[in-house]
Amino acid sequence: MSIRENVEAIRAEIDAAARETGRTGADITLVGASKMNDADACQQAIAAGIDALGENRVQEMTAKLAQDAYRGAPLHFIGHLQRNKVRQVVGKADLIQSIGSLELLSEVDKQAQKLGLVQDILLEVNIGDEAAKSGFAPEAVVAAAAQAKELPGVRVRGLMTIPPADASRAENIAYFQKVRALYVDINKKIYDNGLEYLSMGMSGDFADAIRAGANMVRVGTAIFGARDYSK
């Protein structure tokens, strides 16, 4: 199937899942996770109607920016961001979805202030408390959200999470529901219900994430096809 056909099929599945929660597909932001896909594939996805493109790697993002790969759609950075690469992303990405530590939060704030802008971000929740994964522990994200609100160079737009890769479907759904509860709590108590995005779900579980309350999903292989890691 073509990228356009894949996007159409995903849109239909998104709409069906959203309708189970009293919403429609128009309420869900579809981010095409374009890691390891070239500028032409990005442009095909944009032409097919995705809402944004998401990159995992700074070097790849920088190269594709030079190729005008993201013309016509917002660019999100969705991968692990090292502090020494913050200057390459702040002001380039419309939304950084993977702010998972106070140190990274501070570095993004400093760089944004240097550039005279406010960087939109999501706070990443390490919902499975995985030692090898970045993100705020569930019990720490409320305090992080309060601290972020005081920083002039960043604007928190919501939360993001990636459940453990080995989680069962039932466990996955439970993780999504926990992050949804955190989102609702933070939104009400700290942000006066001004948050917009709950980014949960990827190619294999986006429908379950939407049913659990997600309004932003990051879909890669279901749009672009399997990645070739041998390259």
The structure's pTM equals: 0.96
Per-residue pLDDT of the chain (231 residues; tens, 9 = 90+): 899 999 999 999 999 999 999 999 999 999 999 999 999 999 999 999 999 999 999 999 999 999 999 999 999 999 999 999 999 999 999 999 999 999 999 999 999 999 999 999 999 999 999 988 999 999 999 999 999 999 999 999 999 999 999 999 999 999 999 999 999 999 999 999 999 999 999 999 999 999 999 999 999 999 999 877 666
pLDDT at 228: 73
pLDDT at 7: 98
pLDDT at 226: 86
For residue 59, the one-letter residue type is: Q
pLDDT at 132: 87
By the 10 Å C-beta count (0-12 exposed, 13-18 middle, 19+ buried), 110 is classed as middle
Q: Which two tokens stand for residue 60?
A: 């790849």
pLDDT at 230: 64
pLDDT at 59: 97
pLDDT at 231: 63
Q: Give the side-chain half-sphere CA count within 13 A for 229.
A: 2
**3-state SS assignment for residue 116:** coil
List, as one string, the DSSP characters of 31-67. EEE-TT--HHHHHHHHHTT-SEEEES-HHHHHHHHHT
**Structural element, H or E, at residue 112:** helix 102-115
